[in-house]
Structure 1
Amino acid sequence: MKESEILQHLADTGALLTGHFQLRSGLHSDRYFQAAQVLQQTVIAAKLCAAMADGWRDAGVETVISPAIGGIIVGQEIGRSLGVKAIFAEKDEQSNLLLRRGFSLRAGERVLVAEDVITKGGRVQQTIDLVRQFGAVPVGVATMVDRSDGSVDFGIPLKSLIRLTLATYEPTACPMCKQGLPIDKPGSK
């Protein structure tokens, strides 16, 4: 799938927003990728996630795991495209990830981690760590949007559908904060 086609889908669905946003990472940005806007369009979501799955067809993936809540649809659609099961990890009261609902992984199971968007990759790293706690093997990370500017290294392959270079700021250096602009926290928290 061509980058121009991906960007058109994101624009057509209102998934790329402009304003003053606080990201889940704590950083601020004037642009925000609201994956839910594109993922609610089931035909488009299936098409984008199938394109994401293509890069993993020869990796021997047995299971796709996603951190809840943002990655669930992405993981489900990638799992469907690969013909493997898809599960998700949930936060406990201390924001640690764990498996519930009867989900489990077995030692040696080849697992692909799927997420909608990464900036710093904290939730993805927690998911990788969870996979390893079960003795399963994380084979890679598939993300719809990588806005990390190439700064995230999970020690396993990372493949993104698209890389968006969107400015991020520490809160103390945020130009929108300095202008007194109200902040929006659109994440899934």
Structure 2
Amino acid sequence: MENNILEILKKVGAVLDNDHFVGTSGGHFDTYVNKDALYPHTEETSAVCKLFAEKYKDLDIDVVAGPALGGIILSQWTAYHLSQIKGKEILGVYAEKEDDKLTFFTRRNYNNLVRGKKVLALEDLTQTGSSLKKLVDAIKEAGGEVVQASVMVNKNPQTINTEMYGVPFSSLAEMTIPNYSAEECPLCKNNVPINTKIGHGKKFLESKQV
């Protein structure tokens, strides 16, 4: 399964290496998994979500939840494939950001679909684990039970694990990518230009000019 997901991501050009990237949390690294390169390819996106569905088909799942925006696509496709496998309707919902947290308590009333249900929590990638943790917390806040948390690629398997989330956690693949602070980044020290088109490099450079 790990080879399958990485092959799909490489096929759509989602794995970029030998460059200098800045991530959401401000970390610097030389390899970037650009999940946004996957989503325009519906066949490959469906295939990835079928891997999620196959991996967790034996769990008792009522709802698949993801964070807006990318997680919307993952939750929908995975819920579809789980519904096909299990022969019953599995709902796909998403949480939205509000005051630096994720919540289902919006005008969409998805909290009513999560309350009292067994939920599979999905995120595309994890480096620090914070976004998936917010999703898990949002599900619990809405009264749902997280039976499994998962990501396509765990980029920090030494730190990101079940203990961190307090619920069962696993991934389709692991890819250890060294992550450095700006002060300790060897790429910065060697004057490797920061990629401003992919990731958050442009925002980082703009913040340095303030």
TM-score greater than 0.5 by the shorter chain: yes
Question: Structure 1 residue 157 and structure 2 residue 168: aligned?
Answer: yes
Rounded to whole Å, the distance in 2 between the matches of 1:66 and 1:184 is 28
TM-score (norm 2): 0.81
Aligned to 2:183: 172
Question: Structure 1 residue 102 and structure 2 residue 109: aligned?
Answer: yes
TM-score (norm 1): 0.90
Q: Following superposition of structure 1 onto structure 2, how do residues 32-181 of structure 1 map, counting pairs within 5 Å?
A: 32-83=32-83, 84-92=90-98, 94-99=99-104, 100=106, 101-105=108-112, 106-152=114-160, 153-181=164-192
1:90 aligned partner, one-letter code: E
Q: Secondary structure at the match of 1:149?
A: coil
Q: Which deviates the most, 113-122 or 67-76?
A: 67-76
- Moved runs in structure 1, 4+ residues, more than 6 A? none
Q: Secondary structure at the match of 1:141?
A: strand
Rounded to whole Å, the distance in 1 between the matches of 2:169 and 2:147 is 9
Does the CA contact (< 8 Å) of 2:16 and 2:32 recur in 1? Answer: yes
Instruction: Report how far residue 187 of structure 1 moved.
Output: 4.3
How many pairs were matched up? Answer: 187
Question: Structure 1 residue 182 and structure 2 residue 181: aligned?
Answer: no
Gaps of 5+ in 2: 84-89, 204-210
- Encode CA deviations 1:105-151: one digit per residue, 9 max, x unaligned: 45421111111101111011111111111221111112111111231
The answer to which structure has the higher helix fraction is 2
Rounded to whole Å, the distance in 2 between the matches of 1:107 and 1:14 is 38
Instruction: Report how far residue 156 of structure 1 moved.
Output: 1.4
1:86 to 1:32, Cα distance in 2 relative to 1, 3 A: same
User: Which protein has the larger Cα radius of gyration, Structure 1 or Structure 2?
Assistant: 2
Rounded to whole Å, the distance in 2 between the matches of 1:183 and 1:70 is 24
